[in-house]
C-alpha cells in the first residue's frame, strides 16, 4: 500500500476521507449533477453516471457563473454532497462552493493534484493544516 502526502493551503477546516474523483474538466453547475441522487448527469463528462456523494472531488475550478457554487449548497442540504474538495487554485466560484458546502477544502498544493491523485484513490483531506494524504493499493 502506497501513501503520499501533499501540502497546500487550508481553505475550509475539518478532516474528511473518501474516494477521489479526479477531473481537469469541471462539472457543469445547474444541470451537471442530479439534485436528488448526486449522480453526475452532464453528457460526456468523465464522471457521468457516478455519484459525488461522500467523494473527494478534485476539480480544476468552476464552470460558468457563481451560480455554479449554489449547486454545491443544494447537494449539501440534500445530503448528497462531497466529503471534501481539492482545487489547484481558488477563485470566486470555488471559494463560494467550499464555503456553502462546508466540507474540508485544500487549495494551492505544492504539486499538481492531477499528476498525483487518481480517481479511486482513498484520500484524506485535512483542512485544518492543509495536507492531503493519498492511499493507493
Please tell me which residue in 31, 51, 60, 65 is annotated as part of the active site.
65
pLDDT at 85: 96
Determine whether 65 is an active site residue: yes
Tell me the C-alpha distance between 136 and 13, whole Å. Answer: 24
Grid cell, residue 100, equals: 456553502
Mean pLDDT estimate for the chain: 89
Give percent of the chain with pLDDT exceeding 90.
58
Helices (H) and strands (E) counted in the chain, each on its own, are 3, 8
Tell me the C-alpha distance between 114 and 50, whole Å. Answer: 19
pLDDT at 96: 84
Pick the CATH number of 2-136 from 2.60.40.10, 3.40.50.200, 3.40.50.920, 3.50.30.10: 3.50.30.10
Given a cut of 90, is residue 61 above it in pLDDT? Answer: no
Given a cut of 70, is residue 122 above it in pLDDT? Answer: yes
Tell me the C-alpha distance between 49 and 72, whole Å. Answer: 18
pLDDT digits (tens, 9 = 90+) for 88-115: 998 888 888 888 889 999 999 999 999 9
Confidence class for position 68, pLDDT limits 50, 70, 90: low
For the beta sheet containing 2-7, the strands, ordered from the edge strand earlier in sequence to the opposite edge, are 2-7, 131-136, 122-126, 15-23, 56-59, 84-87, 105-107, 9-12
Question: What are the residues whose beta carbons fall under 8 Å from the beta carbon of 43, sequence distance 6 or more?
Answer: none
Amino acid at each position: 500500500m502506497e501513501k503520499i502526502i501533499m501540502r497546500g493551503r487550508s481553505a475550509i477546516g475539518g478532516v474528511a476521507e473518501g474516494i477521489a474523483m479526479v477531473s481537469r474538466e469541471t462539472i457543469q453547475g445547474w444541470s451537471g449533477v442530479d439534485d436528488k441522487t448526486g449522480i453526475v448527469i452532464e453528457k460526456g463528462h468523465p464522471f457521468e453516471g457516478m455519484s459525488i456523494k461522500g467523494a473527494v472531488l478534485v476539480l480544476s475550478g468552476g464552470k460558468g457563473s457563481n451560480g455554479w457554487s449554489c449547486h454545491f449548497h443544494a447537494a449539501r442540504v440534500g445530503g448528497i454532497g462531497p466529503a471534501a474538495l481539492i482545487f489547484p487554485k481558488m477563485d470566486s466560484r470555488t471559494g463560494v462552493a467550499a464555503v456553502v458546502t462546508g466540507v474540508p477544502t485544500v487549495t494551492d498544493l505544492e504539486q499538481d493534484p492531477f499528476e498525483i491523485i487518481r480517481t479511486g484513490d482513498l484520500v484524506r483531506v485535512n483542512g485544518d493544516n492543509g495536507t492531503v494524504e493519498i492511499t493507493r493499493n
